[in-house]
Structure 1
Amino acid sequence: MAEGKASSGGVQSLERAFELLEHMADAGREMTLSELAALSGLPVPTIHRLVRTLVNHGYVRQELSRKYALGPRLIRLGEAASRLVGSWARPHLARLVDEIGETANMAMLDGDEIVYVAQIPSKHSMRMFTEVGRRVLPHSTAVGKVLLAQLPERQVTELLRRTGMPAHTEHTITKPAVLVEQLASIRDQGYAVDDGEQELGVRCIAVPVPGAPTMTAISISGPAARVSEDRFTEVVPALKNIATELSTALT
């Protein structure tokens, strides 16, 4: 089968290969050719040809079960892309720090985990647990919860079943039903709060970055005494404004 041109002017086989990689990433698990065919609408022989090419180059691996999963060569690309995204985000986060006075963070949902890709610390001496490159489970962070709120409930339930909900503090939500109920409120109000759930005495507020290519959120974090509930009406609009700017920069 010759390589065709996609309607956008791109190379069709490349577009299809990237689509298959995205399906694997969204699934977060090994997949069969028939599953990929059902999701993509492509015939199995076409998918097999594309997947074999990706396997040969290390972007997909074939398991003993004959299922397919994302390959290790993507790690280097992902890390390089994360560094670039972080560099693009830092000027926006710096303005957020100037406006709010607390540490600003940017994080993405990577598989079942949250990874912090950019941070601008506040001028205060107290430092938060977050740092660039750190990975955490989403149930105990504001960025994690606001991103989970963007997913279908079934997908959230499956993720929580895979990861568990370990307690980091006495305030961590450890019951899926309780978190799912909170996610409905987060979805309605457009922001999430971590109130000492990851680190005692620390409060974080997060909003999603709309339309980002990868599920992305930004947050501010600081001592609960400084990030009081009285400041939510100030902090949330500031976060949403920066999130809109980042959405334009990332798309």
Structure 2
Amino acid sequence: MLSERPTTPAVDSAIAILQLLVNASYPLTQAEISSQTGIPAASCYRILGSLLQAQLIVMDPGRKKAYGIGSKIFQMASTIYGRQSIIPYFHPIAEILKNEVHKTVLLSIPVGNTVVVVARLEATLSNHFHSYIGQTLPLHRAAAGKAILSLRSKEYLQHYLAGEHLAATPELDSQLERARRLGYALTHGEIEKGVSCLAAPVVNLSHEPIAAISICVGSEELSEQASRSYSSPLIQAARQLAARIG
């Protein structure tokens, strides 16, 4: 197990404030932020001032002395999104896959020990599951993450599990071995109850996983035959995307 890295309280508090404002459904006052984060009022005041100066948050004009997410956050997110050169190639391939399986198609990339949804193509008749651009999940929990982990080395997996303070389990080993053998990973209700996800890895020329394409279906409709009918075009789409990006 890896030792905990030292942290800086002021930075931790700033992150907590940003996370709170991102998830809030309306702008929050300093008192509300202090109460919900547990940050002392004086410290909260100073940190809010620094975040305001950096344009990471703004004073909301619709509510007196209330704060919301600032323009700089959107600028940074847009810059990162624009650097994902894989995304323009994803959309035409995902459009074909969506029309074939009639499910919403997601593109996820590995970021550290997580997998992040960076593109999403909505199917009109698909069930509306809780997936969105920016959704971030541990690699070992998401189908996309397991598809990526299945092509990583044993050393990488050991390091990853140690970083997550997890032990290797026969169940996870079996899931990753199955994903390697069949070309796609499968999860049942691990992220959302009653929802199953299938994901196929996208690899580069060195056969390293750099992304995963996934679809989600209701667990009740995912029979063995349905799994085969969904997985075949899914794997084909992942291979086409890999070929396009070279």
TM-score class normalised by the smaller sequence: 0.5 to 0.7
Report what 1:131 is aligned to: 132
Q: Once the two structures are superposed, what CA deviation does each residue of 1:171-207 show, in whole Å capped at 9, x if it has no partner?
A: xxx8644312321222122111011111110011111
Aligned with 2:224 (options 222, 225, 229): 229
| Distance change in 2, residues 1:122/1:218 (3 Å) | same
- Alignment RMSD (CA, Å): 2.6
| C-alpha separation in 1, matches of 2:101 and 2:78 | 34
Report what 1:181 is aligned to: 174
Aligned with 1:209 (options 199, 202, 215): 202
Structure 2 length normalisation: TM-score? 0.62
* Runs of 5+ consecutive residues of structure 2 not aligned to the other structure: 6-75
Q: Does 1:199 align with 2:192?
A: yes
Q: Once the two structures are superposed, what CA deviation does each residue of 1:203-226 show, in whole Å capped at 9, x if it has no partner?
A: 111111132676111111121233
Structure 1 length normalisation: TM-score? 0.61
Q: Structure 2 counterpart of 1:86, which letter?
A: I
Q: How far has the Cα of 1:239 moved from its partner?
A: 0.9
| C-alpha separation in 2, matches of 1:164 and 1:120 | 34
| C-alpha separation in 2, matches of 1:79 and 1:160 | 28
| C-alpha separation in 1, matches of 2:161 and 2:77 | 24
| C-alpha separation in 2, matches of 1:244 and 1:154 | 26
- Aligned partner of residue 108 in structure 2, secondary structure: strand
Report what 2:90 is aligned to: 89
Aligned with 1:80 (options 79, 82, 91): 82
| C-alpha separation in 1, matches of 2:153 and 2:223 | 31
| Distance change in 2, residues 1:178/1:224 (3 Å) | closer
Percent of pairs with identical residues: 25
Q: How far has the Cα of 1:161 moved from its partner?
A: 2.0
| Distance change in 2, residues 1:248/1:184 (3 Å) | same
Q: Structure 2 counterpart of 1:123, which letter?
A: T
| C-alpha separation in 2, matches of 1:181 and 1:125 | 30
Report what 1:219 is aligned to: 214
* Runs of 5+ consecutive residues of structure 1 not aligned to the other structure: 1-28, 30-73, 166-173
Q: How far has the Cα of 1:92 moved from its partner?
A: 1.1
| C-alpha separation in 1, matches of 2:164 and 2:78 | 24
